[in-house]
Amino acid sequence: MCLLCRHKKYILNLYNYNYVEKNNMIKFVYFDVGGVVVKDFSGTNKWNELKNGMGIKPNQEVVFDEIFDIYEPEVCIGRDVETLIPLLNTKLYLSLPENYSFLLDFVNRFERNESIWPIIKRIKERYKVGLLTNMYPNMLNQIYKADLMPDTKWDVIIDSSIEKVRKPQIEMFKLAEDRSGFKGEEILFIENGKKHIEAANEFGWQTFLYDPSFTVESNKSLEETLLK
């Protein structure tokens, strides 16, 4: 995609999915982890690289994706992702090493998004801040162990694998709202997933779509929104 086309795509997403109309009301800011605070697989080829590393052949990709799509919702609310390995071995005749870790294979492919860290620090000086994230069990701990996170002292952390509820379920937003101590438009949610943005906005929050493919533009827009 050419640079001009990419920029137009970013502007279109910014126009369609950013719902910050009353920034003077904001008291609490929730950040998603993957795709915002940390560079995960969003907007990259890392998902295909992971499959290739596992030995998934091209004619097996559809089956692999179907299995993963079926079980990932369970993983996000507490099922150990490593329990999928025997299932995948059986269905796809894989030969993964005994010490293979699905969880670490994910985390080891993540990267820091250091470009947003100074912005988080400045936001923390003005607002209470938290994490609102769909995670696999122990994934957030491993992300911290890999030194991928800023040294922010979060006021609230909502981890789906601990809370047994996930985005975009309304119960996730109700829980996060209760833990924050604020309501509706007093909360801003910074997220890279459009369906999660839409769900949070329908719940009454203000929202900001962060595009990890355009970190420079996203960071600039976020600063203009909250730190003028």
pLDDT of 163-215, one tens digit each?
999 999 999 999 999 999 999 999 999 999 999 999 999 999 999 999 999 99
Q: How confident is the model at residue 128 (pLDDT cuts 50, 70, 90)?
A: very high
pLDDT, position 228: 79
51 and 141, same domain (yes or no): no
Provide the pLDDT for residue 15. 47
End-to-end CA distance of the chain: 32
Q: What does the pLDDT read at residue 16?
A: 53
Four-point Cα dihedral 37, 38, 44, 49, nearest 10 = -160
Q: What is the mean pLDDT of residues 141-149?
A: 98
Grade residue 115 by pLDDT with cuts at 50, 70 and 90: very high
Please tell me whether residues 120 and 148 are part of one structural domain: yes
Pair 164, 216 in one domain: yes
Same domain, 33 and 123: yes
Binned at pLDDT 50, 70 and 90, residue 4 comes out as: very low
Which tokens belong to 187? 């909360």
Q: Tell me the H-state helices in the chain.
A: 3-17, 46-54, 61-76, 84-92, 102-107, 117-126, 139-145, 160-163, 170-180, 194-203, 215-226
Q: pLDDT tens for residues 13-47?
A: 554 567 787 778 999 999 999 999 999 999 999 99
Q: Tell me: do 171 and 196 sit in the same domain.
A: yes
Q: Domain check: are 98 and 161 in the same one?
A: no
Domain boundary residue, one of 68, 83, 107: 107
Q: Give the mean pLDDT of the chain.
A: 92
Residue 36 sits in the same domain as residue 89: no
Selected residue with higher pLDDT from 14 and 75: 75
What range defines the domain where residue 82 resides? 46-107
Give CA–CA dist 185/21, Å, rounded.
9
11 pLDDT exceeds 80? Answer: no
Structure-model confidence comparison of residues 68 and 1, the more confident one: 68
Closest CA to 36 of 224, 189, 198: 189
- DSSP per-residue codes, 100-130: --HHHHHHTT-EE-GGGHHHHHHHHHHSEEE
Q: What is the pLDDT of residue 205?
A: 97
pLDDT mean over 108-125: 98
Count the Cβ atoms, other than its own, within 10 Å of residue 166: 22
Rounded average pLDDT over 117-144: 98
Strand bridging mode 156-159 / 187-191 = unpaired
- In this structure, the answer to whether residues 126 and 179 fall within a common structural domain is yes
Residues 137, 104 contacting (CB under 8 angstroms): no
Instruction: Please give the distance of CA 96 from its chain centroid, rounded to a whole number.
Output: 27
| Stated pTM of the model | 0.92
The CATH number of the domain holding residue 19 is 3.40.50.1000
Kindly state the tokens that stand for 4. 């001009």
Residues 94 and 151 in one domain: no
